[in-house]
Structure 1
Amino acid sequence: MKELGLTNISEMTIRLNDENPVTYKPYRLPYSERAIVREMVGELLANNIIKESHSAYASPIVLVRKKTNDYRLCVDYRALNKKTIKDSYPMPVIDDQLDRLNGKSYFTSLDLASGYYQIPVNESSQHITAFVTPDGHYEYTRMPFGLINAPAVFQNMINKALGNKRFELAIPYLDDLLSADYLGYEISESGLRPGTKKILAVSEFPTPTNVHQIRQFVGLASFFRRFVYNFATVIKPLTTLTKANVPWQWGLEQEKSFKDIKARLISRPILALYDPEYETEVHCDASKVGIGGVLLQKPDSDSPLRAVAYFSRQTTQEESFWHSFELETMSVVLSLKKFRIYLIGLEFKVLTDCNALRTTLTKRDLIPKVARWWLILQEFNFSIEYRPGQNMQHVDALSRNPVLPPDEQEELEILSITTHDWLHSVQMTDPRLKHIKQILHTADEDIKDIKNNYVIEGDKLYRRVGTKLKWVVPHGARWRVCQLNHDETGHFSFEKTIEKINADYWFPKMKRFVKKYVDACINCAYNKEVAGKKTGYLNPIPKCSTIFHTIHMDHLGPFIKSKRGNTYILGIIDGFSKFIFVRAVRNTKSRTTIKVLEEIFATVGYPKVIISDQGTTFTSNEFKNFVKSLGIKHTCNAVATPRANGQIERYNRTILNSLSSMNYGLDEKDWDVNINKLQWSLNNTINKGTNKSPAEIVFGQRTSGESENILKGALSNTLEYVPEEEREEMRQRVHDTITEKQRKMKEYYDKGRAPTKIFKEGDLVMIPNYNPEKGKSKKLAPKFRGPFKISSVLDKDRYEVSSIEGHSKRKYKNIYSADQLKRWISFHVSPPESDQSSSSDEVEPAE
């Protein structure tokens, strides 16, 4: 930055509509980012790009993280730009520049380093650029990014610097002084089309036999992607083969894609030549499958819009899970970036079917992702216009499934059509419906099934269903029909949605399609509970008649810190005998817990199984290594399912009730003095599940209560000898009693439950949203979140659920029971086959 030059041929001057200053408080930043801001501000000060300010103006700053994990300091000039009188400046006419390339062989591309910072801000305007950080107030002495007129000033400076050379040797563009991307194109008065030599290379390209040849063809075809309507979707079968871990398979789908791309390019489609004097519009749309945009122009209001360029690309796996608003915003950003060379310096319209985008420009609190995007858009001078989806079918096709086919037309006359015309045109572009219409218009073809079931009224095709005529929905418009009758009318159930659609529309297998659409609705998935009976049957833990074979553990607390330094109670219970150890402990650290277990194991031996919740005590590496070293199986119960560790959970309630009664009248910090007495009482009380006291099952009789240390006394010489064979017989009876009670409990529990949902590894699911966002109504908060993937199938209808790689910055892994999970349903509409089906394929019973 120290080596940057400073031009003396141009400067930035800001003219405003009024003299009321733009003043904002600094946006709050984390302390870690404040240090980064101070460092960046210090560098700008040292290089005389900014200076300290006492201006009445104060625009806030935003710290944006780049893909390289570095940061960019951006000033949010949105409010200032609204008050700025916009400059206009000439942009080169593209067709003129292309003509000048003819006969030239050598090209050099020049790009200025930090070009904006090489242009001074007029002293009278410097105070207007002032911005605030949490630590200071500064203003620019050189032109900053984000000002609405910055591109105009920069273009003017390039023109002055080149002088007459720009008419002889150089083509000045805002980004680079030369863009040679148009070589290989043919220019005529009709428009722009692919050049003959390049198309010859496409037409003679042999059928690929390996991935390398696929990449060669895709690269060649991509050179002309601007000419191919819905290019990303058409070529997808080929690009899929170039991905890692995808086996080579050249089938009918790949052959069709290969020939389709060839056919479209060999026909040499024409696009209108760009003219900066024409009215310009950018139409954008997005879906889970992809995003798309069309750049259109017309010379005057009475002329039809003509396509200048198409843009589309598939969404990534991560992007397909984004909210529709984020996808729609991204479609605008990427479309404008794609068409940037045409749009900088122009006043143009952006048309979208996402109404929320209109108000976003005025919002202050944007999520970071959207905030970064809007900062990118500050250099464009555009307005956003909302049009319902039914009027945006031409661009909707780019992002979803084709409603209008990629016909090789010279003009795209879309927006002037009426609803009536659109209904007619989308039917005519569906090959199957077009075929039916042709049959109905032809008297010679006597196909009774077609003529008995279909009728044409006002150029539109209808289906006879009883005494009513229903509009036949083309393949590409089915998604939109569902959207209008579900998303935009209250997100009602499938039954109510199909009832609404069935009143006016018909298409084959409509119920199945609508059911899939409603099941895959993301808003419903997040916000609606699963209807009907709860799923999942009771899975009692089988009891082994061996004492201390399986133990259950849990912490209770925190309590006020006692005089002995304890804040928690650790409960450890034998799953068979119900014998419990109650210990007051200082904390829930793994080390503390292990120390207690080592003491108990020294007395009763090592268990085979430990069951606990997923607290950090039991999920730490230290605890995992401890149980692994002893050969103990450790089972964690699912999130928010206390019933899964019911043995200890029931005792926790008893411990709390008894302890509060025993300590009544004592100092609150002496809550742990009666722990040993409580343990003795619990172990010498008859348990309803076994009809015996835990001490009887373990020792053959109840233990004495004389000693201060009850357990140690019992394990010494306070027991009378009981023959081992009698103890084993008694334990077997207890085992039979427990088993019978578990059977009855399961029978009662399962009556009100539906069969367990079965998932397999790799399935996508949603998990309960137990922690809704703070400050928002819990009743209206989403009930589920996701998607997540099943990373492991466990026993007892439990599953390990983890975050999807690339979907979230924060890794997540937890255990859930099947009845807590909700299946994530994706629904992608496959494009219709291009060949015409026979009449028998079209005629299906009315649904």
Structure 2
Amino acid sequence: MIDRKTSEKLQLLPTLNLDEAYKMAWQAEEQAKETKIMWNQEEILNVNKLGKRLVADQSYQSRELCKGGTMGRSIPLREESKNRQCWWCGRPEIHGKEKCPASKERCFKCMRQGHFARCCRERKINFMDNEEFKLEVNLECEDFKTKVKFLVDTGADVVAIPKKLLDNGCKIFTCSETIRGPDGSPLDVEGFIWIQLSYKDRIYKGKAFIINNLQIPILGKPAISKMNILRLCNLAEVCNSDIDIEKEFPNIFNNLGVFQDTFTIKLISNPVPYVQSSPRVVPLPLLDKVKEELSRLVSLGVIVPVEEPTMFVSPIVVVPKGENGVRICGDYTQVNKNIIRPIFPIHKVENTLGRLKGAKLFSKIDATSGFFQIKLCEESRKLTTILTPFGRYMYNRLPMGLNCAPEYFSMKFSNLFHDLEGVVIHVDDILLYSKDRESHIKLLREVLKRLSKEGLTINKEKCKFLVEEVTYLGHVINSKGISVDPKRIESIVEFRVPSNKKELMQFLGLVNYVGRFIPDKSTLLEPLYGLLKQGNAFVWDRCQQQSFEKVKYLISRAPTLCHFDPKSKLIISADSSSYGLGAVLLQEDDTGKRDVVSYASRTLNQTEKNYAQIEKECLALAWAVNRFRDFIIGIEILLETDHKPLLQILHTKPIDDLTPRLLRFRLQLMRYKYQVIYVPGKKLVVADALSRAPLKDTEVEAELNIKYISSIGWVDSKLKIIKEEQSKCKICSQLKEYTVGGWPDQNKIAEELLHYYPYRYNFSVQEEFLLFNTRLVIPTSLQKSILGDIHAGHLGITKCRERAKQSVWWLGLSSQIKVVVENCPQCIQERSNKREPLIVEEVPNRAWQKVGMDLFKNKNMWYLVIIDYFSRYFELFELKDLTENSIIKHCKETFSRFGVPEIVRTDNGTQFKGKFKQFSEVYNFNHVTSSPYFAQSNGCAEAGVKIAKNLLNKNADMYLALLVYRNTPNETGFSPSELMFNRKMREILPMYPGNLNNKVEIDNNLFRDQRNCNKGKTADNYNKRHRVIKLNDLNVGDNVWVIDLRKYGLIVRKAKEPRSYFVAIDGVQYRRNRWHLIPAPFKNNKENNTYGRDIFEHFQHKDQKCNNNCVPGVNEDVVERTELSDNNDTNSETAEFETPEIQSQSFKLPDRKRTKPKWLEDYVCDYIQV
């Protein structure tokens, strides 16, 4: 608004909108016109809204009015007061011309420098004709060429021409965009054409929209800016600042400053010299410019000619600069190989700009020829020698091209301002930001003070001070956020249609630069990337053209991203499609409003496209978090996904249960504080759109080495067989299809695959292998042989299961391993049973009711022990021989003193057969024998043997040792003699005579209960210590392996003793404890030594042959004439003298119908009916 009074009046209205402002401005204009006509004034105030403006941004239009733009509107040229206004800029204060913001600007009317158009005194006019805004431009479209007079309109966003202007041969493309006029109504667009406009030596290439009923061609902002017809000024650039920089810092804008310190280039210990013998050829048109640039650098003291020999001589690189200049750099490739770099971090632009939250004012400072302001020491200068067509020169200042230059320069500048808040440094570009004007001026003054004190200078042409919007590192920055620099996207918008893969890659590279600003590229990039695939011909079709045009259109309207605020709640929304990943970083304020910080997307490589869908979704989250890691490390974030199973996988599921890829992604996420939340796909719009229109990622993500396949330990031939069998297996093929393409609903899955549904997230496909987590899925045809390989080392059930967990998997594998191990002949023959719970015998009611007997050998002498179960009183006899008569004689001697016991328990030695049995009948006691080769069943006698051996080995007088033992109280508080005779015995230890006269009163019931309680505790401790288990009972007809005899036998009947059975082996019957018997549920086939159940056939390896003694089962011929025997062996040392006595009698096995177990339903079994 040029009328200041009307502008101030409008600003005071609290609820002003555009329509009301326009109406009030129009009323003020009409009133001014009438007033000036009455007073015969010369000037007319004119508020003009262009009728032919296209897609005019209202904020842009208002800003242009504030700047005093002249396009399409009249402006007042009269100064209100010459005493209060500047002659050159029109500002209401007086200042010198050198301080005037218009001193470097060019007038739009007279095209002279030094004043604004509104202050131009070239000629005064009352009304500016439209011809003043028309410009004759050369227009080319295919073969059609003409000169067209355009209306220059800075408010128009496009170039528009009437249809009548075109030649009939021009091809008009269909337009998908909507073009609106200044009032917001859509215009009648015929289409668009690709044109080339030229004005003087400047060219613009782009679209021109064909508008029906358009009277005059309109030249919009893109063409105006590209051809440099007008320069659009920012109001903040020309407003007066509160700091006089040139006065306060008079040397800050001098030609070239210098740091006070010098820099020394450090070389490695053994540098390799390099000398360029001949200069590189410089194009003839640039030769004179090179000579001028060398002379300029010499005059500045940057370089000096050198004649002495130097270790390094590098060629030069000449790059055109601007319209008439060149830049000379050295190609220091060989020198860089010998330099030790001063490592210093140079932050990414994205991280540098992530600190501007809340900033409203900006200043940009650019050091004059930054590197040249660092002096080199004498020795380092020789390393920078360059060879030119005009001789050798060396640098006195730090040149560009050395690998140590950016890091050292960044370090110097960072150290200079490291303690200042609001200063961002990227190499030689300095950005100042503040929330208010006062603090910004203070900061600016401090920065300039330090630069001046250090002796540095800045480039006045590239500096901006106290502006509300600044271009920095290719980005336009203001208080609202960050957007891409329009100059940077011009090369994309004007990029011609690629004619080969190289040009297409260049275009996609440019698109990748502005990828973080593009929220929605739909599926457009996929047709373009399809042309880059190896083996695909480069055929540019309609779909590629549409994608190409749409991408350029989206980039030309890239949105503004908000400034990153670490105090806000951060959300990463990620999604995956079949060919790409997409993510968006959002921040949420206290009101719940979400703003976009950055967008990201990339395509999936060929390996990733074969991932299961759940792996793609997890990859999207892991990649997104890694992509935005510099924003989120140390901050708790929310991860949004539309794949609900990821909530369990990334939170509660054990790591061991994850597939290798899911495990890798979860490990990548473990360094961050995150919470995964589920968002339905219809609400995950942005990330989904980005994933379906990804950018080609310039970094190829490294895959983990597939160590789980190499660790299986099989040769390649087996892996090849497994892959082939998986492809043939119907179930494996269907599982692969579901894994890659996604699992359908449970009610749509075939019945044979329903059992796999609970494990659907454990499957993955790696290099055409179907895996369960890290294990190969074995098809049915190979499961039998793989079972044999699992049990190849004849390990136990647990070890075999752990072995299988490393390599293979199929449904029911664990139970099948149990069956295989339990039925393996070699394992059965070498297996020992676990201990069963200890059987506690009750204490007898009185002394000498039950006794135990056993023989033992000590120091080549045999002894007989007879021990009382109640009192633990025992008699010890030295034996002259081991005959039954000798044993019976000592028993009679003992019984004559203490009486005949009711029960006598012995082992199964031959001394306790025949005559001893007759002796038991005559003396009327019950003779009970323990289980053969199971000493635990005769524990009391074995305990007596142990005590007797201990006494004999420690004492020379055996009888005195027995006296002392019998008279010593045990854990019950009574001695064996007291329990046996109810009195104390006199011994060598002095004792009061009265104690010998007193009868010891013992309550047998109380004593018995106490002993039973103690024995119960002992049994509990035993059971815990040995981890006992209750072995399964055996049935008549069961096949067993007898451990001590190392033969297979058949259970005939159960013995009366606990846990004892009679086993028939080769027609002979043996009694054995359950501990000696291992179930062997397979039949014997004596002719070929094979097993009836084919599941065990593969156990017969070439190097493992079963002998005849290992054949399981019982032959039918032997069964019919089996002879039973009570042959019972003992584990005492008398066993070597035993000769089994066999009692023969006929017996026949009972008939029993044998049925196939359920776990063998899938196998073909041959049974022998018994």
Same structural fold, with TM-score higher than 0.5 when normalized by the shorter chain: no
TM-score by length of 1: 0.30
Give the number of the structure whose alpha-carbon radius of gyration is greater.
Answer: 2
Quick one: higher RCO (CA 8 Å, sep 6+), 1 or 2? 1
